[in-house]
Amino acid sequence: MASNATHYNNLTPAQPLDKATLNKMVFRSLNLQASFNYERMQAAGWLYAILPGLEKIHADDQEDLKLSMEHNLEFFNTHPFLVTFVMGIVLSLEQQKADIGTIRAVRVAAMGPLGGIGDAIFWFTLVPITAGITSNMAINGSLAGPILFLLIFNIVQFGVRFFLMYWSYNLGTKAIDILTANAKEFTRAASMLGVFVVGALTSNYGGTTIALTLENGDSPIVIQSILDGILPKLIPLCLTLGLFFLMKKKNWKPVQCIALLLVIGLLGALVGIF
Amino acid sequence: MGFSAIQIILVFVWVFIIAIDQFDLLESLYQPIVSGAVIGAILGDLPTGLIVGGTYQLMTIGNMPVGGAQPPNAVIGGVMATVFAIASGLEPTAAVGLAVPFALIGQYMITLLFTAMAPMMSMADKMAEKGDTKGIVRLNYLAMAILGLLFAFVCTLGMIGGSAMGQTLSALAEQFQWVMTGLSTAGGMMRFVGFAVLLRIMLAKEYWGIYFAGFVLATIIGYIPALSGSALLLVAFVGFAIAYNDFQVNVAIKNAAGSGIGGNGGDEDGI
């Protein structure tokens, strides 16, 4: 994470990834959330999932592999069932040894919007319909209920995972010629989209609110609604910018920031701020 | 409610698997409709397992893990409801009620684990610096094993101690309510560290406006209930429009400039 390298040492595109490796990564994508945590969410699981590909791509240069592992450990969160779409496109860029900034920007821009789509497909459509039908079969004592549920859900899940991996890997590979012709302009545009998405995530993922109220006879003053009157999502924005400042200007490490947030959270809960 | 040692061990193993499965593996074994049947089969009463599992499944349909929120945990709730229904011949709905304290404990354990795994990320950073690919793999499997063991342990306690154990445990959790609130608040704030790291790397001076524009657009859309589910997708369309336009303009400028201005300093000041 300390590394500020902007591109790989070996810029010769690697051999395209073979089917076995791509398939292996599809199966690893199942465990995307293995080490889920509140700081970087799926980051380490993401790295675990694409590692077989990265090891092949950067096989001839250990330093490049380290660089790639470092930047692929940054914040990552997407829909677990659609992650292979992001994997395919990022791996195609890694294989072509695109600028690290470009890869990062594409990764951030691609991961954000998938959440809503995945929820709509899986949690609002597939599961309610299949579970609704098969649950009634189970309640009527039929063992076919759970078996059918598992079959339908997993056929769809694996179909989506495999399709997205191959489709987006080929898509990225085809687009690469256009991109490398205008690499600088593309990196700039992708970074803009990435920063735009991080701005959106700050609001969309930011749920921190204050539960503090001031006694005021019959109509207590709710601090949070005053803050919302100034700017909705003010606390998430201030925290993000505050942490950004601590890291950029004061050289704080992420782990120090986490310790600070733990102290704030526990003290705040003790005195009733949260 | 007497269970044989083999039954307890089998439930332990099954819960270990589905606790992991709720986030990884097939992400479907943990669903009560499947889990209820398996627990029923282990405890020698498949019909009751099917009925309780189906009932619990219908209850949870409106309670999916959408957008990463943590509802009371259906994994542990489904298992304990089935266990209680079979052991004491309760109606499925009553058994589900007895299982609620366990579902809450499940939720607490997940909050604890997701908080505790955050400092582990700096270990992962060190592994990446050394190119230790095996370490990254081990870290992920270790986290999965911890999750599985925590859940399996609590379910075993519940099988041995009965529903009273659930009340004891949740009373204990109640006493330390502020710790749980504090941890989950801190947990909710930790993602801002992840964002700040990304910004530190990506946020060139000329992109500040873009950052705030993304923030504002997502906030506006998020406050419209009908759109909040697709907020990030809608935001991405607008972001794409801006970025794509920027790309086109800059490519056009580069091509037009051709040999004229020469060099490659054109984008240093953001055009």
What is the spatial distance between Cα A160 and Cα B259, in angstroms, rounded to a whole number?
48
Confidence at residue B71, expressed as pLDDT on a 0 to 100 scale? 62
Domain ranges of chain B: 5-189, 203-267
Residue A47 sits at the chain B interface (C-beta within 8 Å): yes
Domain ranges of chain A: 19-191, 206-271
Taking CA atoms, what residue in B is nearest to A66?
A: B131
- Confidence check: pLDDT of B70 > 70: no
Residues from chain A contacting residue B36 (CB–CB below 8 Å) = 138, 146
Please report, rounded to a whole number, the percentage of residues in chain B having pLDDT higher than 90: 46
Cβ–Cβ pairs < 8 A, chains A and B: 413
B173 CA: distance to closest CA in chain A (Å): 15
Confidence at residue B269, expressed as pLDDT on a 0 to 100 scale? 44
Residues of A numbered 159-188 whose beta carbons fall under 8 angstroms of chain B's beta carbons: which are they? 182, 184-186, 188
Residues from chain B contacting residue A104 (CB–CB below 8 Å) = 198, 201-202
3-state helix, strand, coil in chain B (%, to 5): 85, 0, 15
SS3 A214: strand
Written as one letter, the residue type at A8 is: Y
Q: Do B195 and A41 touch (CB under 8 A)?
A: no
Residues from chain B contacting residue A51 (CB–CB below 8 Å) = 133, 136-137
Please, what's the largest Cα pairwise distance for chain A? 73
Handedness of CA B50, B55, B58, B60 (dihedral sign): negative
Long-range contact list for B221-224, CB < 8 A, 24+ apart? B222/A203, B222/A204, B222/A233, B223/A232
Provide DSSP, A13-57.
PPPPPPHHHHHHHHHHGGGTTTT-BTTTBTHHHHHHHHHHHHHHH
pLDDT in tens, chain A (274 residues): 445 688 899 999 999 999 999 999 999 999 999 999 999 999 999 999 999 999 999 999 999 999 999 999 999 999 999 999 999 999 999 999 998 988 998 999 899 888 878 888 888 788 888 988 899 899 999 999 999 999 999 999 999 999 999 999 999 988 877 777 888 888 888 889 989 999 999 999 888 888 888 888 788 888 898 999 999 999 999 999 999 999 999 999 888 998 999 999 999 998 888 8
How many other CB atoms sit within 10 Å of the CB of residue A230?
Answer: 7
Confidence at residue A3, expressed as pLDDT on a 0 to 100 scale? 55
Q: What is the ipTM of this complex?
A: 0.88
- Confidence check: pLDDT of B137 > 90: yes
Taking CA atoms, what residue in A is nearest to B45?
A: A141
Point out the residue among B34, B196, B235 whose CB comes nearest to the CB of A200: B235
Residues of A numbered 138-157 whose beta carbons fall under 8 angstroms of chain B's beta carbons: which are they? 138-139, 141-143, 145-146, 149-150, 153-154, 157
Residue A247 sits at the chain B interface (C-beta within 8 Å): yes
Q: State if pTM tops 0.90.
A: no
CB-CB contact of A237 with A223 (8 Å): no
> Would you give the DSSP letter of residue A124?
I
